[in-house]
Amino acid sequence: MPDTSVKDQIRKLVELQKIDIEVFKLRKSLKEKPSIIENLKQEFEDKKEKLKNLEEKYKTILVKRKEIELELKGKEDEIAKANAQLSQLKTNKEYTAKISEIENLKADKSISEDKILASYDEADAAGAEIEEEKKNVDQQEKEFLAQKKVLEDEIKVMDDQIKVKESQRKQKLEGVDPNYLNRYEKILNHRDGFAIAPVVNNNICGGCYMNVTSQNINVIKIGQELFQCEFCTRILYIEEDL
């Protein structure tokens, strides 16, 4: 193939590369969007889960209080029964034992009353925390939906941009040798959308920044065939020679 033909093919591939890099960047960004949305959703779900746990805690406090109130009622009934039995006792020993029993029951009753009072304070604190968390959840939901809308709009815009770029790419393919295109696209798929690179600073691959030997520089300059970097396999060209 004549020298100018190879250089002409390289020029076409360089133009194609400009579009492919943009498409690669768009696709990469597009691929990240769903996971960003999912992370935002998870943050919102975590907030809702926290609120749910607080509400469960509040219910547990109320159930526990009800149980203590039933225990208290039982203690009061036992005290009333024990007091009623006092008049029926015949000996001081029996009387003293019953009084002791009543005092113990009253002590237990006092403990239950303290627990009930404490549960009211606990319920008030839990209720206040729930109200605060409800506000947080409402705010988080608004923020999540707003951010989700922005990201979904960005996805649509990027989808449209990719379609435009793909249309432009088809036009750029005109006149590209199928064999060269095949080599180019194989490299493209393995090198993050960057398949063809200039030689920079006279002897450095512009893709991987490894040294290009003088002998290989001469091969590139002669331009009778596509030359690939020995390290990264990208097609190399000398910009000023095109």
Neighbours of 89 (CB within 10 A): 14
Domains, in order of start, for the chain: 29-171 (1.10.287.1490)
pLDDT of residue 3: 38
Q: How many angstroms separate the CA atoms of 24 and 58, rounded?
A: 52
Neighbours of 138 (CB within 10 A): 11
pLDDT of residue 4: 47
Q: Which amino acid is at 236?
A: L
**237 φ, ψ (degrees, to nearest 5):** -145, 160
**19 φ, ψ (degrees, to nearest 5):** -70, -45
pLDDT of residue 2: 35
Judged by DSSP in three states, 88 sits in coil
Q: How many angstroms separate the CA atoms of 85 and 14, rounded?
A: 106
Q: 79, 107 in Cβ contact below 8 A?
A: no
pLDDT of residue 1: 39
Q: How many angstroms separate the CA atoms of 7 and 225, rounded?
A: 9
Q: What is the pTM of this model?
A: 0.74
Walk along the chain (242 residues) in steps of 10 and give the mean pLDDT of each run.
Answer: 71 96 96 96 96 98 97 96 92 94 96 97 97 97 98 98 97 94 96 95 96 96 93 96 84
User: Residue with structure tokens 């001469």?
Assistant: 218
Q: Which amino acid is at 177?
A: D
pLDDT of residue 5: 85
pLDDT of residue 242: 81
